[in-house]
């Protein structure tokens, strides 16, 4: 007696573990977003994901697929993530900010785009991810936004204090001193860790 047939998403996942490039590629156009996202991950796992397929996934109508594509794009520096930092779905923006900070080298104009997210995005998770990326990139052009974020809500302030680590100067010292007296204990702890 056999059980039910595996779902398309499961088939995509298995393809990524068993080296079935054909099965994974066929499922990139599946009507179910979760299956498309899993197929994309399978092709990335197999090391055969092309820039063209990644571009297609980054433009997918589903945020589920776009989020997975952004995560996979960390290892594809030839594929720009700038447009995803202005995506209509907050979870995609958050993932894109994280991915920008994870890349070995920042793409041109990414610091400016991250600064925009830190300064004006409505979602604090997006601001937090963007300020973390600015800290990871460590470009001095992002420092004013990181300093400004030390006055945001607690989760963003905490991340901003950590993001100050690659920077130095009197304005950084002043921000860390202020953070050491923050009402949130985790912000204080992050500042104290840097102040020694």
pLDDT of residue 6: 74
Residue 109's φ and ψ, nearest 5 degrees, are 75, 0
Q: Is the pLDDT of residue 1 over 60?
A: no
Average pLDDT over residues 38-48: 96
Q: What is the mean pLDDT of the chain?
A: 95
Q: Is the pLDDT of residue 196 over 90?
A: no
Q: What tokens does 171 get? A: 């304005």
Average pLDDT over residues 70-96: 97
User: Chain-centre distance of CA 48, in angstroms?
Assistant: 22
pLDDT of residue 2: 62
Q: Which helix (H) or strand (E) holds 145?
A: helix 143-149
Res. 180 pLDDT band, cuts 50 70 90? very high
Whole-angstrom CA distances from 67 to 23, 45, 61, 74, 163 are 22, 16, 11, 12, 23
pTM of the model: 0.92
Cβ neighbours of residue 196 closer than 8 Å, sequence gap 6 or more: none
Distance CA 137, CA 160 (A): 13
pLDDT of residue 124: 98
Q: 48-57 — which CB contacts under 8 Å span 24+ positions?
A: 48/21, 49/76, 51/76, 51/78, 51/79, 53/25, 53/28, 54/79, 55/79, 56/28, 57/28
pLDDT of residue 97: 98
Distance CA 80, CA 73 (A): 8
Dump pLDDT digits (tens) for 154-173: 999 999 999 999 999 999 99
Res. 4 pLDDT band, cuts 50 70 90? low
**Domains recognised in the chain with CATH numbers:** 7-79 (no CATH), 87-196 (1.25.10.10)
Dump pLDDT digits (tens) for 109-140: 999 999 999 999 999 999 999 999 999 999 99
Q: Which of 1, 45, 2, 4 is nearest to 23 (CA)?
A: 45
């Amino acid at each position: 007696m056999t059980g039910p047939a595996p779902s398309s998403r499961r088939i995509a996942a298995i393809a990524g573990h068993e080296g079935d490039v054909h099965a994974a590629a066929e499922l990139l156009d599946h009507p179910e977003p979760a299956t498309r996202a899993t197929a994309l991950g399978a092709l990335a796992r197999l090391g055969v994901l092309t820039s063209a397929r990644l571009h297609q996934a980054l433009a997918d109508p589903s945020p589920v697929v776009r989020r997975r594509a952004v995560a996979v794009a960390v290892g594809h520096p030839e594929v720009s993530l700038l447009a995803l930092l202005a995506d209509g779905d907050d979870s995609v923006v958050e993932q894109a900010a994280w991915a920008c900070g994870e890349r070995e080298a920042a793409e041109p104009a990414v610091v400016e785009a991250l600064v925009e997210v830190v300064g004006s995005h409505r979602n604090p998770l997006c601001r937090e991810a963007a300020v973390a990326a600015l800290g990871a990139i460590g470009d001095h052009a992002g420092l004013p936004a990181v300093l400004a974020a030390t006055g945001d809500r607690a989760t963003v302030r905490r991340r901003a204090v950590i993001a100050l680590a690659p920077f130095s100067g009197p304005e950084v010292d002043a921000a860390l001193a202020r953070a050491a007296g923050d009402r949130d204990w985790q912000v204080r702890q992050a500042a104290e860790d840097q102040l020694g």
